[in-house]
Structure 1
């Protein structure tokens, strides 16, 4: 368990960029601080070390836009603006005005429906280069929104899926294959140092799920699986870390109470020490209906947890069953309970899968590699492999 991550990427240096002209890059994304927001923030942080980019982070205001988080970003030196989000038209008009004033050369529009709103505003404002980033494999593409996506495609330089599964979903929507590519999301691997990793024998035999409470997540199936483990005589703690929609959180809490699991289940909310929680726990679970590129799962892998996840779009390319973790069918509490039983009762299996998961996270999902790939595309080239 002492392997140190030596992920590819991060080779770009400021010294090698001085000859390039500075270009202004605007990242537009939801202000809900989702995974899409995190990717945009990571790219803005990376640009601070690149002398050929000036970046602006623009957020579409949501009901849960956190003022403290905004100030924390500004304290890190990231230029941030928040636009009205009460109607799509108000957002497009405000972003159009901002683009007319700031005059970016590149507008990177992250997430849905933000990539539609952002590209319309950029197109109307005359932004030379538009880039779309799709962060999920299943979005609510009504006929009207599908029409918009196809109308915007000829004006969009690159369409990026945050996993191979998301790239395929873009192609299924009719997006041009020569413009569409995958850049897997990455994490800060140094938050999971080898020296802090514990062998399975020293970890707390508990289950952790780190995720927002949202429509796409499926904590109910995990709770039902926990109840089935209890019926088999195995009582283990389950910790949920994450915030999200209040109605979805309440639904999960009611299910835990209905199943009589209140003494085993803890809802931690937005946890300040996720790496230490993961590195001290045996099992990580992602019970979900669909994904784009699940960063929380990659963090569980980097922490060398024994990982179980739903075999949903966006997950299958990240976790390989029986090699780096276990995959179970969507909504199948019996299969999930069986997978958890195996990992909680077979220490050797948990150790083997956890070690392989960490190796995979270090090799393919480092933040530096993700940043290098995006930087190459934003500069107008091809993403490095």
Structure 2
């Protein structure tokens, strides 16, 4: 990255990994699907890593999921990534888009306020009034740009959008064309070029909020992104991501490995229901992404308040804001975990965690 890019809080994948993408592109001799920036083999190695050739691993998960996702994008069907919140669906869609199209920023962020204009196109109304409808007054949205340029478009949290907005995607995915009725002649139809496709994401907690129509579902292949099952793998990922975020935040103290182990173990207990009373778990999402966020906060708290790395006591202080989101009872469940489960674990960090239970509010 350039010095200017280093000041960005979160540069896109094609900027963060520009050197790796360039390296893969130069040595890419495998056949490429029409319109793709990298071959399917190179795109896969960009995501799952190729240590022998200096390509880092960027997604922790089943490699066969990557294979199926890439094959889907080479067809005329869109790719739908579903799963629990915090399972890196958005990260995966970003990495795939960067590998397939060389750009991951053609993104629609779904929500209750998302409109069809934000998906397809809108108008520069000053030019529209003075000159009338023209390509000059047309303001392309991500979907129109993706079709015109032959790029992958990301549609984040599609099920958060109203049903009528979701169904505006039907003709785009079927006919591969956007009609602009205000323009005449060939300018009134924007046809998709080779390389265009859509990656949508939806978390399973939102199912039933704005359930997709059967017609729209038929235009996607669905792939489920599961939480990380292995403790050591999840710990390594949390450690790696927290270290990167802390370095970016100016924290110089190295992380305590035992504190991170306690953090990840506690998250896994609270996620699966092994903490507190039998079968009890928090209603909020205790995902790997949330664990990274808490690890980052623990390091910031330790460094900027005391000039040291964070402690297990800081975990309790930072966990309160993560646990109490959807259900007030979650704080009580967390307190029971700290009182009943933490003392059963061995190690100084677990003793610190148990002793800091008084920091929970209420």
One fold, TM greater than 0.5? Answer: no
- Normalised TM-score (structure 1): 0.34
- Normalised TM-score (structure 2): 0.35
Answer 1 or 2: higher relative contact order, Cα 8 Å, separation at least 6: 1
Q: Rg larger in 1 or in 2? A: 2
Greater strand share, structure number: 1
